[in-house]
Structures are given as structure tokens and as C-alpha cells.
Structure 1
Amino acid sequence: MIKSLIRTIPNYPKPGVQFRDITTLLKDADGLRQVVDALYERYAAAKIDKIVGIESRGFIVGAAVAYKLGVGFVPVRKKGKLPGDVLGHDYALEYGTDRVEIHSDAISPNENILLLDDLIATGGTAEAATVLIEKLGGNVFECAFIIGLPDLGGEQRLHQLGYSTFTLCEFEGE
């Protein structure tokens, strides 16, 4: 059911890109509940200290899952969006380059971190977030996503770097 609630917008943000829009999933109460419950069930027995969510759609589900797990939530944001002392990392996107930042006091050494975002495409943003987590001394427990796009190689990229990944659904060759 989760996959059926995700809208595809062709040629956004540029020609040839099939944008997977989760706003249609989020507005459906049962769909949102299924996503949060599935992620909660996967990690309920794990020793996770915090969830790191990537701007911006990773905030929505990440905060809900953190609340349900009884752990803290940490945002990873685009450059210049966090008010305090930050640590940043530049990365390549599927359609450009960007920089993400995290507050320098957001993670304590040896904390187990679940990285959560709405979608894994090329893996650049997720990799940048793992770099920040590890620079602060955190351990990446797993990288979780609502949507996987296996044709773009992001999960494979994270696996090659030694990270475990999990997706709730995939759009392969679509």
C-alpha cells in the first residue's frame, strides 16, 4: 500500500527525472501510520540513541519515529539553516552539488544513530550525513528510507562504504 500512495512527477526538477513525491503518502492517515509503524517495528528492539533526519522530508517521518521510539531527533540541514555552531560537508547531487550541516553538539561520542530520509537515489546526501555523524563520534546503526531507487546506485554506494540500508519500497526501472 505504501508504494501505491507515492505520486510520480515526470521531468521534475529537470527533464528525465521521475520525482517520487511522498506528500500524497503523508496526507493519507493510514499510509503515514503504516510508514511510522513499519519503521518503529524494525527498530524497536535496537539500541538507537538518536535519529538523524535529512532535510526536509526526512524530518517528517524521522521525528515521528523518534517520538515513538523514545529517542532524540537531530536535523541535518542545507547550508546556513542551523543557528548554532555547525559542522558541514559538501556533496554531489543527482542534479547538482550542495552542502549539509549538523549542529556540532548534536551527537555524543559512541551514540548509535539511525539515519532516516524519504528517498535514496545516488546516495550523495546520505553519505554526506554519515560523514557528519561519524565526525561527531556517532555510530551509524543503519540508513533507512521510505523509497529506494536501486537503478541509481545509492544503496550499493552506502553498502560499499560499510553501511547497512533498509527501504520500505522500491521503484526499480520505473
Structure 2
Amino acid sequence: MTLASTIRTIPDYPKPGIMFRDITTLLGDARAFRRAVDELVQPWAGTKIDKVAGMEARGFILGGAVAHQLSAGFVPVRKKGKLPHTTVSIAYSLEYGVDEMEVHEDAVVKGERVILVDDLIATGGTAEGAVKLLQKIGAEVIAACFVIDLPELGGAKKIEALGVPVRRLVSFEGH
């Protein structure tokens, strides 16, 4: 079994020409899910990671599992208006416009070592916003980790340009 073989591809979703990479099939396969989490954790096993930040929504699933494996805390990075306490927000670019995401202002203590986790990186706008948001509240972002990279869209390069290494488990051509 390869991780790529457990990811379902849905053509023309959400619009014609897009090949949607659906990780719900990977998540539903116990062995694949365990392997993905183990591979995301592997470079940091035995090192001090204070927090794992996960981007809404699939990043919550993966990030929670990674945080558990690393004995780290978990920070939800949410769409604006979803967190109940005092927040810090940042605007980020979407394919067709701008949106905002936020974290609680006290989610990270200045200097804490944080790993960002999500299911997929494409153009990198959301991940770039999350890295900048975490840095804004004092995190030292050690790495950004994704199950899937769509390298033709350049998102991983955007994150690496911020000085943050990118870990990806599977790459797919196209978008």
C-alpha cells in the first residue's frame, strides 16, 4: 500500500478541470491514517515541539493526531469569528479574493516551537497566512507539514521562502 493509493481523486470538483484530492479515504483506512501520522511525526520524534497548529478543518484531524504523538499542545487555526476568546487575525489570499483566519492571542507563548499541519498545499495562500499569523503571536514555526503537495501550484516554495521547511508525504501533478 502507498499513501497515494489511499487518496481518492474526484475529477472536475469543485469545478471543471480540477482534480480534487480527497483524503477522507485515507482517514478511513486505519493503516494508512496511522502511517500518514507516523510519517508526519518522524522528523521531530525525540525533539522538543511545544505545539502543533492545524488549519480548519482537515488540519484539525491530522494536527490533533500529530500533537498527540509528539506530546505537544494543539492550536486550532480558524476562520474569522469561530473562536470564543480574544483573537489575533490575519488576512490571506484565496484563489479568488481574500479571507481572514485567527488564533487565540494566548495560543502560543513567545518562542514556542510550533509545527503547522494540514492535508494539502496548493497555491499556499492559506498556509502562508497561518505561518505569518503564528509568527505574529510569537511562535517559532519549525516546519509546515502536508499529506499532499501539488507542486505545480507553487505553495511549498512560498512557505520555504519564509524560511520554513516543508514536509510533504505525497505529490500529485496538476491541480
TM-score (norm 2): 0.95
User: Within 2, Cα distance between the matches of 1:105 and 1:75?
Assistant: 12
User: Within 1, Cα distance between the matches of 2:128 and 2:93?
Assistant: 10
User: Within 1, Cα distance between the matches of 2:13 and 2:147?
Assistant: 19
How many angstroms does 1:95 deviate by? 4.3
Q: Is 1:57 aligned with 2:58?
A: yes
Structure 1 runs of 4+ with >6 Å offset: none
1:39 is paired with a residue whose SS is helix
Corresponding position of 1:10: 11
Count of residues paired in the alignment: 174
Q: How does 1:1-174 map to 2 (within 5 A)?
A: 1-173=2-174
Residues 19 and 174 in structure 2, CA contact (< 8 A), matched pair in contact too: no
1:94 partner letter: E
Q: Deviations over 1:71-108 (max 9, x none)?
A: 10000011111111111111112344321111111001
1:107 is paired with a residue whose SS is coil
1:163 partner letter: V
How many angstroms does 1:46 deviate by? 2.6
How many angstroms does 1:14 deviate by? 2.4
User: Within 2, Cα distance between the matches of 1:98 and 1:145?
Assistant: 21
User: Within 2, Cα distance between the matches of 1:161 and 1:102?
Assistant: 20
Q: Deviations over 1:55-82 (max 9, x none)?
A: 0000001101111111100000111111
User: Within 1, Cα distance between the matches of 2:9 and 2:127?
Assistant: 22
1:62 is paired with a residue whose SS is helix
For structure 1, the residue ranges without an aligned partner over 5 or more in a row are none
Percentage identity across paired residues of the two chains: 54
1:131 partner letter: K
What value does the CA root-mean-square deviation take over the aligned residues?
1.2
2:108 is paired with a residue whose SS is coil
2:62 is paired with a residue whose SS is helix
TM-score (norm 1): 0.95
2:126 partner letter: T
How many angstroms does 1:15 deviate by? 2.4
- Compared with structure 1, are the counterparts of its residues 96 and 13 closer, same or farther at alpha carbon in structure 2 (3 Å cutoff)? farther
Of stretches 25-34 and 35-44 in structure 1, the one that deviates more from structure 2 is: 35-44
1:135 partner letter: K
